[in-house]
Amino acid sequence: MKIRGAYIAAAVAAAIMIAFPAFLGAYPLNVARSVMTYMALAVSWDMLLRSGQISFGIAGLFGLGSYASILAVLRGGMDPLLSIAFAALVAGLVAFALGFAILRLRAMYFSITTLALMEIFRIIMHNLHDFSGGPEGVVLPEVIFGGDASALYWLCLGGLAVTIGASWYFERSKLRLALTAIRNDETSARSNGIDIFKYLLVAFVVTSTLQGMMGAIQVQSYGFTTPDTAFDANFTLLPLAMALLGGIHSTIGPMAGAVLLGIASEWLKLKIPYGHLVVYGVIIIIVILFMPNGLFGLARKAIRKAGGAGSPGSASNGSDAEEGAR
Amino acid sequence: MVNKRKTTLVVALIAAAAVIILAWRPTVLIYGLQAAGLYASIAVPMGLILGIVHIVNLAHGEFLMVAAYATYLLCKSLGIDPYLALLPVTAVTAGLGFVVYKLTIRQTLKAPELNQLILTFGLGISMTQIANLLFTSQTRKLSFDYVSASIDIGELSFGVYNFVFLGAALLMVVGLRWYLTRTTAGKAAVAVGQNPRGAAIVGIDVDRTYGFVFAMATALVGMMGAMLITRSAVFPTVGSPYTMKSFCLVAMAGIGNIPGILGASILLGVSENLLKAFRGLRGWADIVFFVLIITVILGRSIRGKKA
């Protein structure tokens, strides 16, 4: 019963999301696209985090995907839609090759190396003047779908749906058990017969593919990119803050965080042109210090407390708790 | 025995490389050493924190930036030289470091390492963005005559001012070595770094040592921030690249090996300037750091696996 309730809620939410362009103007749709992009990145970051590996290189794979897509269209004459799949494939392959080296690293070494990789990608794109356009970047002759706001929105929504679907699969399949075991105690996971490297590689390649895909969607929607916009540190920072605020190790947490922070940042951007990102830094600090499980962790605790006091009438809350607990 | 022969070989190779570079383009070596001084003097405090408190401070460069802004404001309003402002600025950043440690980092010492990493990442972002809020992203620069001092040797002419950073780095390494091996407080700090529980059992106040070391490291960074302003403009992200570079140097030297940081800096500074000597490769000089950091980290992990 509870599970069916959750499915119905998800279907209703999806229907509303799909219908958005019918009753929203161009600017709200643009905001929605940026929120969805960050949401997909936040969810994908969290998917790798579930194995205990913290990546600071989201922007690296995002930028790699956007360059792969724009260059495939510009230099290879590829169809824009196809180039998105191509970019996802490139990001996945690069992650596969790199994974053999960097997935042997743990903790701070892994994190710093992903950060360094992002810088390397950026410097390469900066310096290959003839191929990638150098510091000025590259411009497409025309945006995908002729720049139609609704079509762009649905494209981005499609990317987000793929990401959420992957994350949902991660949560419900055997993968979740393996990744959680690795996160909790690597030695005991290994002694229980889990092929740690294989699972980490799967998680790393899948999340990188998703990040590359979102980069490609973003670049096709705006029609241009430069090394500094493609590898903008914000693509690392914002998803991180969103996932932390919402609650890590779940799909719903990063999604909620992205909606909250995405809309808040759009508002703050107008109020404070310089330095509105301070909010993100402060949120990261507060979450780490006071609520390491994020908003959903707090909600779960509150619900459990309420449930302990004895309130059988709150069936609708129960389904939320079920969702959060996964 | 084998190890010794290996070391001799490495030293001989380095000496040969230095001689070749000196004969071919002496400026590469000179500017490389100057850059090495700057890198090392900023990396040493990070090595100190990593070696004793065991925290990767991703807000390291931001402390540098805060110090640079403080120096800028002080020099601008009072019209004094950055070297006069150095002492008050150092005191301010030491205080800031202590407060930041007490309020935030101390709370996560028992939490998983990842929490500390994310926390200092957030601290760094907050500091950069507060600077953005207060000063906007406009660059600010003070200029001084003595910075452009140069020397001619034969046909060779080069700036000498930047050797000041090499001096600072040497002073820091020697001073810290003396402090950590000769004074009681320093020895206690080393003990805490090696084994916090053991140190606590023999009666060392671990928390106070951590706080003191953190404050001392940020004071040293603050000193470098005051000196940095003599040669560089100030803007909110001025310190960010140094965080990565410092971590790279510390990881190369090995955690806890402070003199090694100086050697690693010289290797990086010289190879960076070597690339800059070729016109076509100038843009790639920045990549040296990142390639080296990845090579070193991977090399260490593979060697660690074999052992």
**pLDDT, tens digit, for every residue of A27-72?**
888 888 888 999 999 999 988 888 888 888 888 999 999 999 989 8
Amino acid in the structure at residue A22: A
Domains of chain A, by residue range, sit at: 2-325
Which positions in chain A touch B297 (Cβ < 8 Å)? 105, 109, 112-113
Q: Are the beta carbons of A244 and B118 separated by less than 8 Å?
A: yes
Q: Is A277 in the B-facing interface, judged by CB distances under 8 Å?
A: yes
Which positions in chain A touch B100 (Cβ < 8 Å)? none
Could you tell me which chain B residue has the CA closest to the CA of A241?
B122
Instruction: Quote the pLDDT of residue B19.
Output: 74
Q: Are the beta carbons of B244 and A116 separated by less than 8 Å?
A: yes
Give the pLDDT mean for B218-236.
88
Per the model's pLDDT, the better-predicted residue between A264 and B145 turns out to be A264
Res A322 pLDDT > 60: no
Rounded to a whole number of angstroms, the distance from the CA of B202 to the nearest CA of chain A is 30
Which positions in chain B touch A115 (Cβ < 8 Å)? 244
Res B307 pLDDT > 50: no
pLDDT classification of B306: cutoffs 50, 70, 90:
low
Q: Are the beta carbons of A274 and B132 separated by less than 8 Å?
A: yes
Q: Is A271 in the B-facing interface, judged by CB distances under 8 Å?
A: no
Res A309 pLDDT > 60: no
Per the model's pLDDT, the better-predicted residue between A315 and A59 turns out to be A59
Q: Are the beta carbons of A119 and B284 separated by less than 8 Å?
A: no
Instruction: Quote the pLDDT of residue B3.
Output: 64
CA-wise closest residue to B249 among B43, B38, B32, B34: B43
Check if the beta carbon of residue B277 is closer than 8 Å to that of residue B25. Answer: yes
Lowest pLDDT segment from A259-268, A292-301, B10-19: B10-19
Which positions in chain B touch A126 (Cβ < 8 Å)? 283
Count of A–B CB contacts within 8 Å?
Answer: 125
Choose the closest CB to B56 out of A108, A237, A281. Answer: A108
Helix H segments across B79-205? 82-103, 113-135, 163-182, 184-194, 196-201
Amino acid in the structure at residue A125: M
Distance from C-alpha of B1 to C-alpha of A199, rounded to nearest angstrom = 43
Q: Which tens digits make up the pLDDT trace of A211-224?
A: 999 999 998 888 88
Give the pLDDT mean for A117-131.
84
Res A310 pLDDT > 70: no
For residue B62, give every residue at least 6 positions away whose Cβ sits within 8 Å of its Cβ, in sequence order, or none: B123, B124, B127, B128, B239, B240, B243
Res B136 pLDDT > 50: yes
Task: List the structure tokens of A299.
Answer: 């909600």
Which residue, chain included where needed, has tokens 């790393």?
Answer: A204
Question: Between the CA of residue A326 and those of A168, A181, A319, what are the distances in Å?
Answer: 10, 15, 11
For residue B302, give every residue at least 6 positions away whose Cβ sits within 8 Å of its Cβ, in sequence order, or none: A104
Instruction: Quote the pLDDT of residue A3.
Output: 66
CA-wise closest residue to B214 among B96, B124, B66: B96
Lowest pLDDT segment from A203-207, A262-266, B158-162: B158-162
For residue A223, give every residue at least 6 positions away whose Cβ sits within 8 Å of its Cβ, in sequence order, or none: A139, A140, A142, A143, A144, A147
Instruction: Quote the pLDDT of residue A2.
Output: 58
Helix, strand, coil content of chain B in percent (nearest 5) = 80, 5, 20
Q: Which helix (H) or strand (E) holds B41?
A: helix B26-52
Q: Which tens digits make up the pLDDT trace of A128-184?
A: 877 777 788 888 877 777 778 888 888 888 889 899 889 888 888 888 888 888 888
| % of chain A residues with pLDDT over 70 | 93
Res A92 pLDDT > 90: yes
How many helices and strands, by DSSP H and E, does chain A display?
16, 2
Instruction: Quote the pLDDT of residue A96.
Output: 93
Choose the closest CB to B126 out of A102, A105, A278. Answer: A278
Instruction: Quote the pLDDT of residue A311.
Output: 44
Check if the beta carbon of residue A153 is closer than 8 Å to that of residue A166. Answer: no
Res A314 pLDDT > 60: no
The top-scoring range by mean pLDDT among A313-322, B8-17, B20-29, B48-57 is: B48-57
Q: Is A284 in the B-facing interface, judged by CB distances under 8 Å?
A: yes
Could you tell me which chain A residue has the CA closest to the CA of B113?
A107
Distance from C-alpha of A75 to C-alpha of A80, rounded to nearest angstrom = 12
Instruction: Quote the pLDDT of residue A315.
Output: 40
Q: Are the beta carbons of B137 and A274 separated by less than 8 Å?
A: yes
Give the pLDDT mean for B214-235.
89
Res A320 pLDDT > 60: no
Check if the beta carbon of residue B10 is closer than 8 Å to that of residue B263. Answer: no
Domains of chain B, by residue range, sit at: 2-306
Res B167 pLDDT > 50: yes
Res A318 pLDDT > 70: no
Distance from C-alpha of B85 to C-alpha of B96, rounded to nearest angstrom = 16
pLDDT classification of B305: cutoffs 50, 70, 90:
low
Which positions in chain B touch A240 (Cβ < 8 Å)? 118, 121
Q: Which tens digits make up the pLDDT trace of A267-292?
A: 888 887 777 778 888 888 888 888 87
Q: Are the beta carbons of A117 and B290 separated by less than 8 Å?
A: yes
| % of chain A residues with pLDDT over 90 | 13
Q: Which helix (H) or strand (E) holds B156?
A: strand B156-159
Amino acid in the structure at residue A227: P
Q: What fold, for B2-306? A: ABC transporter involved in vitamin B12 uptake, BtuC (1.10.3470)
Could you tell me which chain B residue has the CA closest to the CA of A244?
B118
pLDDT classification of A17: cutoffs 50, 70, 90:
confident
Any idea what DSSP says for residue B153? E
Could you tell me which chain B residue has the CA closest to the CA of A119?
B290
CA-wise closest residue to A215 among A76, A130, A108, A94: A94
Check if the beta carbon of residue B41 is closer than 8 Å to that of residue B172. Answer: yes
Which positions in chain A touch B117 (Cβ < 8 Å)? 54, 107-108, 111
Domain A2-325 has CATH 1.10.3470: yes
Render A185-251 in DSSP notation, one character per residue. -HHHHHHTT--HHHHHHHHHHHHHHHHHHHHHHHHHHH-EE-HHHHT-THHHHHHHHHHHHH-SSSS
With the C-alpha atoms ordered A102, A105, A107, A113, is the resulting torsion angle positive or negative?
negative
Q: Are the beta carbons of B297 and A126 separated by less than 8 Å?
A: no
Q: Are the beta carbons of B125 and A277 separated by less than 8 Å?
A: yes
Instruction: Quote the pLDDT of residue B220.
Output: 92
Which positions in chain B touch A109 (Cβ < 8 Å)? 251, 297, 301
Lowest pLDDT segment from A142-156, B202-216, B230-244, B288-302: B288-302
Q: Are the beta carbons of B133 and A275 separated by less than 8 Å?
A: yes
Res A1 pLDDT > 70: no
Q: Report chain A's mean pLDDT, rounded to a whole number.
A: 82
Which positions in chain A touch B124 (Cβ < 8 Å)? 281
Question: 3-class DSSP state for residue B215?
Answer: helix
Instruction: Quote the pLDDT of residue A308.
Output: 60
Q: Are the beta carbons of A123 and B284 separated by less than 8 Å?
A: yes
End-to-end Cα, chain B, rounded Å: 19
Task: List the structure tokens of A129.
Answer: 């003047």
Check if the beta carbon of residue B189 is closer than 8 Å to that of residue B52. Answer: yes
- Residue to test with chain B: of A110, A282, A284, most B Cβ within 10 A: A284
pLDDT classification of A325: cutoffs 50, 70, 90:
very low
Question: 3-class DSSP state for residue A166?
Answer: helix
Q: Which tens digits make up the pLDDT trace of A22-37?
A: 777 778 888 888 889 9
Q: Report chain B's mean pLDDT, rounded to a whole number.
A: 83
**B212-B229-A276-B121 Cα dihedral, nearest 10 degrees:** -40
Rounded to a whole number of angstroms, the distance from the CA of B19 to the nearest CA of chain A is 31
Res B233 pLDDT > 70: yes
The top-scoring range by mean pLDDT among A232-236, B194-198, B283-287 is: B194-198
Q: Which tens digits make up the pLDDT trace of B96-122?
A: 999 999 888 888 888 777 788 888 888
Give the pLDDT mean for B206-213.
90
Rounded to a whole number of angstroms, the distance from the CA of B115 to the nearest CA of chain A is 6
Check if the beta carbon of residue A220 is closer than 8 Å to that of residue A64. Answer: no
Check if the beta carbon of residue A288 is closer than 8 Å to that of residue B115. Answer: yes
Rounded to a whole number of angstroms, the distance from the CA of A275 to the nearest CA of chain B is 5
Give the pLDDT mean for A178-191.
85
Q: Are the beta carbons of A282 and B137 separated by less than 8 Å?
A: no
Task: List the structure tokens of A92.
Answer: 């996945």
Which positions in chain B touch A120 (Cβ < 8 Å)? 287, 290-291, 294
Choose the closest CB to B287 out of A120, A244, A274. Answer: A120
Amino acid in the structure at residue B256: G
